[in-house]
Amino acid sequence: MKSTVLVTGGAGFIGSHLCERLLADGQDVLCVDNFYTGSKDNIRHLLDNPCFELIRHDVVLPLYVEVDQIYNLACAASPVQYQSDPVGTTKTSVMGAINMLGLARRKRARILQASTSEVYGDPLQHPQPETYWGHVNPIGARACYDEGKRCAETLFFDYHRQWNVDIRVIRIFNTYGPRLHRNDGRVVSNFIVQALRGEPITLFGDGQQTRSFCYVDDLIDGMVGMMDQDTEIGPINIGNPAECTIRELAETILRLTDSKSELVQHPLPIDDPVRRKPQIDKAETALGWSPKVTLEDGLGETIAYFRHLLSK
């Protein structure tokens, strides 16, 4: 059945892919973005679609629209971006959640919160199951994002318990793919851009810290699957459990780009997690979801995107 779906942060990296998918599924899409980190270039090809509508709006302010579903993705997601305006980051997570939950309550709409693996902080449990409460520095440089997202989850579950709002909560692990911003400071985009330009690869620490990288198409499948089922409210981890070191990622990108860039070590950022790997049993059981795209295949698509972008 055709629905009207609101996507906050819809002009961002993940949001634009989600808007595409929802339109392909036959939905009417309201894309909301304040363009702090989002870009019209990500959604320019959607603007002529009669089922797509763009609204410039900041979720820190209330929004009054008619919708059936809400995907709440609005928030800067890379450390460089969210630390450049930490108060704004916290406001977006907390006040944005309050405003979107209020809209969902008024319209009896189902609402999905795009939470993050950062709620686990620098984890003491490995891999990270949804039952793990996390190890987060509440006053550190990353706290605006980590604690903002943790508070948003609190609000979602309190609105559900107190007012029976129909919620869904996913925790997104490191995601990559086309439309990553070239200067957003995320490790995949950093390494690819540096490799293609022949610049030194910035390796923080000794490169032995690990991450688990999920291709954006797999993430979108999990996100839509979570929204469209009626039994599980979450939280559910959505990520690829194939763990690799940052040094291994850099070496893979150097090989795939045929780059001669050298690896240059820099001090590890404060509170940077040492290990990160999702436990996805819950997603496999409740959603029938698991990632399909290998790291090499996903990096190939992402490298092709950046080659084209840098050639302009």
Distance between CA atoms of residues 137 and 146, nearest Å: 9
- Could you tell me which of 302, 211, 208, 186 has the C-alpha nearest to residue 253? 302
Distance between CA atoms of residues 286 and 291, nearest Å: 14
Residue tagged active-site, from 71, 145, 159, 176: 145
Residue 55, judged by CB atoms within 10 A of its CB (0-12, 13-18, 19+), counts as middle
145 is a catalytic site residue: yes
Cis link prior to 200 (omega < 30° from 0)? no
Distance between CA atoms of residues 309 and 285, nearest Å: 39
- Identity of residue 101: L
Return the active site residues: 145
